[in-house]
Amino acid sequence: VGIYAGPGVVYADGSYSGTDDFGRYVEADGSSAGFGLAVGTSVDLWGPLSGRLDYRRTFMGVKTDRATIDGSESVVYPAESTDLSYGRFGLSLVVSMVGADRSVLSF
């Protein structure tokens, strides 16, 4: 059984296209970087197989001041921002392939 925790970096890149509340066709894109925290536990189940249960929380937002509205490049003022932060619980099964004592390909 092992317990782990630590920080990390997250990155998102995306685009949007669709109609707004006024029926105009809007296209916008952007990207952002943020940071995250993780805490969890890992349990060796059998041979190279282990199970993990963890919680991850990220903090990230994206802001844009340009969009294409009905085919014309437009400036958006004030700039629109979106919060991309999230939290999640995860359960995963991990197979160690190389490097550990019980790996599938141990040397």
Q: Please report the pLDDT score of residue 106 as a whole number.
A: 66
Which DSSP category does 100 fall into?
Answer: S
Counting as low any pLDDT under 50, the low residues of the chain are: none
Q: What are the angstrom distances between the C-alpha of 67 and each of 15, 52, 54, 86?
A: 10, 42, 38, 25
Q: What are the angstrom distances between the C-alpha of 16 and each of 26, 39, 56, 67?
A: 8, 32, 26, 10
Q: Please report the pLDDT score of residue 77 as a whole number.
A: 80
Q: Please report the pLDDT score of residue 107 as a whole number.
A: 65
